[in-house]
């Protein structure tokens, strides 16, 4: 049961940076229509740095844990650096082997983050 | 009525010999597609190994054999659903194509502004989207008949839904999510009593495989179904239509095989059903479907239904023991087919399906091509286990045991 390793389940059950920002600069939502999952990302930008980040939404363990890991990873980083993140970086954070049908789940938070960043740079 | 032994039946299905990670497969996704018995595989292989030839044209022996086998399958399908003749059986790719054929060739030319098309909330997308498109194009009104909160139809609502303007009434004979088996014969009788000229299109993709279907007894106008859900190959479907309706329709596609004569500036078409089968057809698929029909007939469709009814009753009983498992659909076994779609508190359907896969338990998670129904139910997705002739109580037990494990993992 590699896919649901301890850290993934921990991020699913206790998502980091979950909720909303009272002082957000910008945000976006990504949906996976076919399974009804949705993730929203909110950023507080100070200059070109992601000072704070929150995510919210509903979805499977993979989509939620992936978003949680991603928010930890990008918090405090420069926008340009985050913009260069690739799906492979997200898979590396998850450190599990995804079956093809779950790739979309894993990238839902990434998609919302990239949509958000595309609005500013 | 003779019951049959599902455990023995499994011997006819070679995929049960497959082992993944040292464990056998628990196949609970027959609503998506059924496994194939050796008889069907042999029929397809037989065509490809000993009488491969095109149909309707060769003078030589193998071509005549292929043509005979192709048309024999048409007769077998006609008998299976009690069509009044084999000429009412049109071979298509699948249920979706069958419904599109009716929408394009029958309904489109006849629908005018202000007419109504009725479908229902329980439908698979195949019986919603073609009607959305044709209604929009012809400025007709599309109405959706909702279920009651118990996920069944209230037939007393029909006079409010169907009017003299209703040109088409499209409904499933079995829901691929709820397992609900609407009383099709009664519904058609009421629809026709309100408006005799309304044509009724039945999506029987989940019905023909699982119960005795008699199209004349239903008094439907068109019935659509797929081969691959009834032990046959993929890529072959059936449209049954009343002969006078088929005769009154324009072809669906144009080209080879569907013509009787072609001149420089025009062509004459064959009679139905051949005028709807343009191009070299899926010969092996048709022959495989014929073998599937023979196999199901040897089991007896009443026995198939009895087996699934008993098994879904067992499954519902086992599911009811898990307080965090919520099965959708009616619980009256008389109106319930072998579909078990459910949600689980605190676990997403995709995660359930993924963990079940670790035990080689094949289920489906998602909206099962029924997004409007899931919106109606107020859930984004469900996990669905579904049963067929080869499903046993052991399969159900494996599912329930695994679901207990899923709950533990996520709580």
Name residues whose C-beta falls within 8 Å of residue B273's C-beta, 6 or more positions apart in sequence.
B74, B87, B88, B89, B90, B91, B246
| Residue B349 distance to chain A (closest CA, Å) | 7
Q: What is the pLDDT of residue B123?
A: 96
Comparing CB atoms, the residue among B347, B358, B366 nearest residue A35 is B366
Q: Supply the pLDDT for residue B2.
A: 53
How many interchain CB pairs under 8 A, A with B?
A: 48
Length of chain B: 411
Is B123 in a helix, a strand, or coil? Answer: coil
Distance from CA of B232 to the nearest CA of A (A): 26
Point out the residue among A3, A9, A59 whose CB comes nearest to the CB of B348. A59
**Residues B283-323 pLDDT 10s:** 999 999 999 999 999 999 999 999 999 999 999 999 999 99
Which residues of B are annotated as catalytic? 369
**Residue B104 has what DSSP assignment?**
I
For chain A, the domains span 6-118
Q: What is the mean pLDDT of each run of 10 residues along chain B (411 residues)?
A: 82 97 96 98 98 91 95 98 98 98 98 98 96 98 96 97 98 97 98 98 98 98 98 98 97 93 93 96 98 98 97 98 97 98 94 94 92 89 96 98 96 87
Q: State the complex-level ipTM.
A: 0.81
The structure tokens listed for B32 are 């998506």
Query: Residue B379: its chain A contacts at CB < 8 A?
Result: 36
Please tell me the distance from the alpha carbon of residue B149 to that of residue B106, in angstroms, as a whole number. 34
The label of the residue with tokens 């397992």 reads: B179
Residue B74 is predicted with a pLDDT of 98
Phi-psi sector, A47: left (phi>0), alpha (psi -120 to 50), beta: left
Q: What are the phi and psi torsion angles at B297 (to 5°)?
A: -65, -35
A62 touches chain B (CB under 8 A): yes
Contact across the interface for B366 and A105, Cβ inside 8 Å: no
Query: Which residue of B lies nearest to A38 if distances are taken between CA atoms?
Result: B380
B367 contacts on A by Cβ (under 8 Å)? 34-36
Specify the long-range contacts of residues B65-70, CB closer than 8 Å, at least 24 apart: B66/B283, B69/B286, B69/B287, B69/B290, B70/B281, B70/B283, B70/B286, B70/B287
Class of domain A6-118: alpha beta
CA distance A36 to chain B (A): 5
pLDDT in tens, A8-57: 999 999 999 999 999 999 999 999 877 778 999 999 999 999 999 999 99
Bridge partners of A78, per DSSP, are A49
Backbone angles phi, psi at A113, to 5 degrees: -65, -45
Q: What is the pLDDT of residue B35?
A: 98
Q: Which residues of A touch B366 (CB under 8 A)?
A: 34-35
């Amino acid at each position: 049961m590699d896919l649901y390793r301890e850290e993934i389940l921990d991020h699913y059950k206790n998502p980091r940076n979950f909720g909303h920002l009272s002082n957000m600069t910008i945000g976006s939502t990504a949906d996976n229509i076919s399974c009804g999952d949705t993730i929203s990302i909110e950023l507080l930008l100070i200059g070109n740095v992601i000072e704070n980040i929150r995510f919210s939404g509903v979805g499977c363990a993979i989509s939620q844990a992936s978003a949680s890991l991603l928010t930890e990873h990008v918090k405090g980083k420069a926008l340009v650096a985050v913009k260069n993140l690739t799906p492979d970086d997200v898979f590396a954070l998850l450190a599990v082997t995804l079956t093809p049908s779950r790739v979309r789940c894993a990238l839902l938070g990434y998609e919302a983050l990239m949509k958000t960043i595309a609005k500013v740079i | 009525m003779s019951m049959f032994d599902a455990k023995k039946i499994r011997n006819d299905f070679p995929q049960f010999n497959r082992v993944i990670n040292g464990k056998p497969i628990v196949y609970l996704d027959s609503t998506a597609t059924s496994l194939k018995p050796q008889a069907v595989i042999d029929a397809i292989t037989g065509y490809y190994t000993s009488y491969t030839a095109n149909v309707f044209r060769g003078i030589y022996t193998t071509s005549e054999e292929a043509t005979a086998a192709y048309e024999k399958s048409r007769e077998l399908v006609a008998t299976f659903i009690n069509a009044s003749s084999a000429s009412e059986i049109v071979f298509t790719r699948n249920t979706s194509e069958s419904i599109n054929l009716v929408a394009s060739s029958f309904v489109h030319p006849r629908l005018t502004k202000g007419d109504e098309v009725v479908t229902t909330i329980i439908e698979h997308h195949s019986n919603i989207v073609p009607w959305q498109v044709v209604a929009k194009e012809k400025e007709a009104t599309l109405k959706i008949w909702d279920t009651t909160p118990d996920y069944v139809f209230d037939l007393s609502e029909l006079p409010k839904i169907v009017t003299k303007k209703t040109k088409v009434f499209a409904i499933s004979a079995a829901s691929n999510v709820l397992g609900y088996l609407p009383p099709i014969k009664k519904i058609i009788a009421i629809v026709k009593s309100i408006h005799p000229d309304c044509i009724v299109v039945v999506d029987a993709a989940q019905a023909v495989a699982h119960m005795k279907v008699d199209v004349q007894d239903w008094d439907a106008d068109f019935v659509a179904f797929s081969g691959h859900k009834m032990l046959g190959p993929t890529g072959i479907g059936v449209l049954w239509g009343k002969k006078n309706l088929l005769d009154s329709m324009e072809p669906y596609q144009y080209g080879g095989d569907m013509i009787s004569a072609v001149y420089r500036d025009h062509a004459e078409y064959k009679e139905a059903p051949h005028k709807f089968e343009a191009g070299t057809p899926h010969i092996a698929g048709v022959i495989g479907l014929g073998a599937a029909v023979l196999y199901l007939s040897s089991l007896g469709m009443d026995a198939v239904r009895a087996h699934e009814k008993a098994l879904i009753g067992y499954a519902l009983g086992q599911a009811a023991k898990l307080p965090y498992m919520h099965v959708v659909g009616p619980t009256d076994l008389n109106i319930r087919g072998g579909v078990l779609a459910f949600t689980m508190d605190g676990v997403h359907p995709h995660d359930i399906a993924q963990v079940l896969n670790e035990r080689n338990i094949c289920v489906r998670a998602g909206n099962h091509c029924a997004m409007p129904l899931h919106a109606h139910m107020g859930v984004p997705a469900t996990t669905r286990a579904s049963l067929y002739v080869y499903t046993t109580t052991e399969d159900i037990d494996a599912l329930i045991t695994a679901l207990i494990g899923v709950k533990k993992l996520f709580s």
